Structure 1
């Protein structure tokens, strides 16, 4: 009979394609994970991984074995986690990666109440625009957009990332309002260049009726930071395309106006990502439930929707 540690080392190594990444997730050394997998291979009499300097690749037998045992392992560990969670309060270091602007404005203000409810939890927050590798980076959870749902990673959608065209009333005064995204070329735009190509992204906008149209902007000012773009728009320097969640207060106060009220760009959802929904430490489960509950109670998905 194979031990749970051998099977767990194999499954997590297969998900991460790395003994080192699996070791970080399992709180073991890479050597221990490698030994567990090697022992499993000896006991089964088959090679499960092809090992190279570039990482791990499952053999044909390894693919079949992962398919056979992966779900069962999660079920067993889920039962263990459920018992453990009920046995004690959430505790330990909670390592999180969050998108900077969204994290500062929407997530960080929730944390005093979260820490007051769970005094045994210590927060380790990283603010980064790049999607984090949860398994390789050893993160318990991450919040942002554009994450790849790799094996072992699940997501809870928090709010939509709808982008809208905005401008200060002082800039719009005396100017003809555009009727369609194509008309935006008649106005000065505050734009951001692509870090890869150096070009300005062509916005693909849609309206409430499902019609789509490209928006060709006429940049007058280039800025590489969304917060600074918002500040420039507030100063009346031109139109800007920004996520509703980042400008909703300005829209509600009237400091900014939507230039095309019926049009927006859907940049996908902002979600909370974490590993294996069936197996979560109590601290991670508490965080997931707390944040999703707070967003739901405040109706933020509706508030940040452009529709």
Structure 2
């Protein structure tokens, strides 16, 4: 069916209509496809309708909630999805500016992490690849790379769905911190159980709604639960860091949020040598055989920067 009718469409028009169809089929929504493509939902719907007229075939059952493929649409999708992927990768590979990767690079990252650690790398990256336009989304929510059309995402705890791979950038730990002003005149804790005597800035899990409880360990293998006396409850570690700097209590912070304040002296570390595992920070990207050059060079640049600029060491709380 694909090759019998494709002569009716020409060049980029064919690819544009096909792209709207495939993205709509993968997401089940004109709106979601539009977000991937940078178009309006009306434009995507119009492209699909034009493709249907060219083919003389209804591709979708349309409802107010979701698109579903017709039998003919399913057959057409099966025939065109692999050739389309090959064409997309070929066009991406050809998108070069004076022999260097070019194009829009859509990346998702957490707000505070991206601002603190990724934005400072931009100058060097843009000097190397002036043809790439970063389109960075700063958001503290789980990201679906495939559904939302991202080239990459950076963070921790992102679910590895089908078609996505991860490269670990650094392993992170949680440490106990407080401001020097808050600790003035107070005895320093000597054991994780001693933390219960202080005002606690406690984190609520956005996923479960429960208060986070941490078990700390030290280099000799001892483990102990960190005491909690909840004085403040936040769902954002960056807000916890700011509250701690204002002298409102102690906080158990992931090192990416604690490190800049520890280095500046705005916070001091309590219980040196005690820490909790907080898992890796990774760089996620689609597992294509041929990555677009802009994605490939971004991945290699960030991995190298974390290694050579000592970022991974800054997140180690041991």
Match of 1:262 in 2: 274
Instruction: Give the C-alpha shift of residue 144 in structure 1.
Output: 1.9
Q: CA deviation at 1:52?
A: 7.6
Give 1:293 deviation, angstroms: 1.7
1:161-212 deviation per Cα after TM superposition (whole angstroms, max 9, x unaligned) = 32111123441654152323x3322222122344577652222444445655
Q: Deviations over 1:196-240 (max 9, x none)?
A: 776522224444456554334112234454334223323443211
Q: Structure 2 vs 1, CA of residues 36 and 297 (structure 1 numbering), >3 Å: closer, same or farther?
A: farther
Secondary structure of the structure 2 residue equivalent to 1:306: coil
Query: How does the TM-score come out when normalised to structure 1?
Result: 0.73
Rounded Cα–Cα distance in structure 2 between residues aligned with 1:213 and 1:295? 31
Aligned partners of 1:232 and 1:49: how far apart in 2?
Answer: 52
Q: Counterparts in 2 of 1:278-293, with a 5 A limit?
A: 278-293=289-304
Question: Pairwise CA RMSD of aligned residues?
Answer: 4.3
Q: 1:179 matched to which residue of 2?
A: 191
Of residues 101, 104, 110, the one that matches 1:90 is: 101
Describe the shift of the 1:31–1:161 C-alpha distance in structure 2 as closer, same or farther (beyond 3 A). Answer: same
1:164-243 correspondence to structure 2 within 5 Å: 164-170=175-181, 171=183, 173-180=185-192, 182-194=193-205, 199-208=210-219, 212-223=223-234, 225-243=236-254
Q: Is the partner of 1:112 in helix, strand or coil?
A: helix
1:120 corresponds, among 131, 148, 154, to 131
Partner Cα distance (1:290, 1:196) in 2:
32
Q: Give the paired residue count.
A: 302
Residue 287 of structure 2: aligned partner: 276
Contact residue 191 and residue 219 of structure 1 kept, 8 A? yes
**How far off its partner does 1:99 sit?**
0.6
User: Residues 203 and 190 of structure 1: is their aligned pair in 2 closer, same or farther, counting only changes over 3 Å?
Assistant: same
Instruction: Report the CA distance shift for 1:295/1:37 in structure 2 as closer, same or farther (over 3 A).
Output: farther
Q: When the two structures are superposed, what TM-score results if normalisation uses the length of structure 2? A: 0.71
Q: Is the 8 A contact 1:81 1:281 kept in 2?
A: yes
Aligned mates of 2:188, 2:310 — CA distance in 1 = 35
CA distance in 2, matches of 1:162, 1:304: 7
Distance change (3 Å), C-alpha of 1:17 and 1:126 = same
Per-residue CA deviation, residues 91-128 of structure 1 (Å, 9 max, x unaligned), is 22222222111111100111122222222222222211
5+ residue gaps, structure 1, are: none
Measured after TM superposition, the shift of residue 264 of structure 1 is 1.7
Determine helix, strand or coil for the equivalent of 2:289.
coil
Match of 1:296 in 2: 307
- The structural deviation recorded for 1:304 is 1.0
Alignment of 1:39-78 (within 5 A): 55=66
Q: Conserved in 1, the CA contact under 8 Å of 2:154 and 2:283?
A: yes
Q: Which residue of structure 2 aligns with residue 104 of structure 1?
A: 115
Q: Decide whether the 8 Å contact of 2:188 with 2:270 is kept in 1.
A: no
Q: Is the 8 A contact 2:219 2:273 kept in 1?
A: no
Native 8 Å contact 1:163 1:265 kept in 2: yes
Aligned to 1:155: 166
Q: Distance in 1 between matches of 2:153 and 2:309?
A: 20
Q: 1 or 2 for the larger relative contact order (CA 8 Å, sep ≥6)? A: 1
Shift of 1:257: 1.5
Where structure 2 has 5 or more consecutive residues not aligned to the other structure, the ranges are 7-13
CA distance in structure 1 between the aligned counterparts of 2:176 and 2:220, rounded to whole angstroms: 18
Q: Structure 1 residues 33 and 286, CA, compared in 2 at 3 Å: closer, same or farther?
A: farther
Q: Tell me if structure 1 keeps the 8 A contact 2:189–2:270.
A: no
